[in-house]
Amino acid sequence: MLDMSEYLSRLKEIIETEVSRYGLRVLSTGRDSISLLRGGDVVMSVRDVRDYVELSYRGRKYTYDKWYTKPEHLAATIINTLKFQEKPVESS
């Protein structure tokens, strides 16, 4: 099983390019958390809490069991959420 920093490191690696399409960047906000930022505003945050991962988005918190939700699975959830909830940034 991946330890906290490995889990988030892998998640960040997977989603970094995709989230930039929505004008977001991924910032490590500690050993056990990352945030997706637009400008200086936190749009989404992910915290690693031992056996669980908590995702906060639009005032709601979602909890995922790390035994079942590998970084690749959570990345797909994040990308799908952004696809349906956020507008892509138009490239100039």
- Decide: pTM greater than 0.95: no
Give the pLDDT mean for 51-77: 96
pLDDT beyond 90 at 29: no
pLDDT digits (tens, 9 = 90+) for 4-28: 478 999 999 999 999 999 999 999 9
Segments making up each domain of the chain, as ranges: 4-83
Query: DSSP labels for the chain?
Result: ---HHHHHHHHHHHHHHHHGGGT-EEEE-STTEEEEEETTEEEEEEEEETTEEEEEETTEEEEEETTT--HHHHHHHHHHHHHHHSPPPPP-
